[in-house]
């Protein structure tokens, strides 16, 4: 059964990835044979460049977990990673052809399955790509799934997403994902560090996020009111003190939070003019 492709936002770009391979839950086998030597070289080069930028910019938990991805000189077999990941936090990565609709996405997270796109960007997209490719998903998202508290938060987010869908609150909830899982900062004793996958997988934003003065202490309602852009560096970053704080502040039922936020004005992604 062919499923409908999905693209980020209301973009006119054609969907990336072959959705005819996907089942009803949008998952498909990792098409390992399709990788060319150039694809493996792209992954190796992306990994080398990004890993060199992590000290002083990525959070300690990410740096400690990164080696769990295994090989860095080629695109890993997802099964290789799953053996370690399942042992660590009972998560597993599943293959998807690209972005998938919110309900299938939330359903996978709610079952401790993280969807990883299996195609990789072209060499000419080395510095920037809008859609998540295998490097963004593997390098950016998977290491923190080895952290027990963050792993539990991700499952809770998926369960919350299924509820949000029923309440028509997916846009509000997607802002929580955006300003934490994708672009979140954490305060460590030695300074602010990135834990968001969108920052950790981007060479330019990793520096920009650490240098940016526009940091706001994590506040759930403020996050849900703040719009975001998908194709430029963030202009506002939200800061947590620990993954436990993120888990605790997002554990309660969001129904009253959505009701309150819907009565308040949305906030621009750009920080209020000083």
Q: Tell me if 155 sits within 8 A of 105, measured CB to CB.
A: no
d(CA 224, CA 174) in angstroms, rounded, equals 8
How would you label 4-37 residue by residue, b for 16+ Cβ within 10 Å and e otherwise? ebbeeeeeeeebbbebebbeebbbbebeeeebee
Closest to Fe ion by CB, 39 or 131: 131
Q: Residue 87: exposed, middle, or buried by beta-carbon count in 10 A (0-12, 13-18, 19+)?
A: exposed
Output 54 or 162, the one with its CB closest to ligand HBI.
Answer: 162
Q: Is 177 in the site for ligand HBI (CB under 6 A)?
A: yes
Q: How far is the CB of 105 from ligand HBI (least distance, A)?
A: 4
- Scanning residues 184 to 203, which ones bind Fe ion (CB under 5 A)? 197
- Interaction of residue 116 with Fe ion, rule CB under 5 A: no
Q: Whole-angstrom Cα distance, residue 179 to residue 177?
A: 6
Active-site entry in 92, 107, 131, 141: 141
The reply to whether 75 sits near ligand HBI by the rule CB under 6 A is: no
DSSP 233: -
Total residues binding ligand HBI (CB under 6 A): 10
Residues 169, 220: contact at Cβ < 8 Å? Answer: no
Q: Answer with the entry of Fe ion, ligand HBI, none that 105 interacts with (C-beta below 5 to 8 A by kind).
A: ligand HBI
Residue 117 or 236 with smaller CB distance to ligand HBI: 117
Identify residues 83-122 at the interface with ligand HBI (CB under 6 A): 96, 99-100, 102, 105, 115, 117
Does residue number 99 form part of the binding site for Fe ion (CB under 5 A)?
A: no
Residue 174 binding ligand HBI, by CB under 6 A = yes
Show which residues are catalytic: 136, 141, 182, 201
List of residues contacting Fe ion (CB under 5 A)? 132, 197
């Amino acid at each position: 059964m062919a499923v409908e492709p999905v693209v980020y936002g209301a973009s006119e770009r054609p969907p990336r990835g072959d959705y005819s391979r996907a089942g009803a839950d949008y998952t498909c086998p990792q098409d390992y044979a399709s990788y060319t030597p150039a694809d493996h070289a792209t992954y190796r080069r992306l990994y080398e460049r990004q890993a060199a930028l992590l000290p002083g910019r990525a959070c300690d938990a990410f740096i400690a977990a990164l080696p769990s991805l295994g090989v860095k000189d080629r695109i890993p077999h997802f099964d290789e990673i799953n053996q370690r990941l399942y042992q660590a936090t009972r998560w597993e990565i599943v293959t998807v052809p690209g972005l998938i609709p919110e309900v299938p996405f939330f359903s996978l997270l709610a079952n401790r399955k993280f969807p990883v796109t299996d195609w990789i960007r072209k060499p000419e997209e080395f510095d920037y790509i809008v859609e998540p490719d295998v490097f963004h998903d593997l390098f950016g998202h998977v290491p923190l799934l080895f952290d027990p508290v963050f792993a539990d938060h991700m499952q809770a987010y998926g369960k919350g997403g299924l509820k949000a869908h029923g309440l028509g609150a997916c846009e509000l909830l997607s802002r929580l994902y955006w300003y934490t899982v994708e672009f979140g900062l954490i305060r460590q004793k030695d300074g602010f560090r990135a834990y968001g996958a969108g920052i950790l997988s981007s060479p330019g934003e990793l520096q920009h996020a650490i240098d940016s003065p526009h940091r706001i202490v994590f506040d759930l309602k403020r996050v849900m009111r703040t719009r975001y852009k998908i194709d430029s560096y963030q202009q506002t970053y939200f800061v947590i003190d620990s993954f436990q704080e993120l888990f605790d502040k997002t554990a309660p039922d969001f129904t009253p939070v959505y009701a309150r936020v819907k009565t308040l004005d949305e906030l621009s992604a750009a920080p209020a003019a000083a």
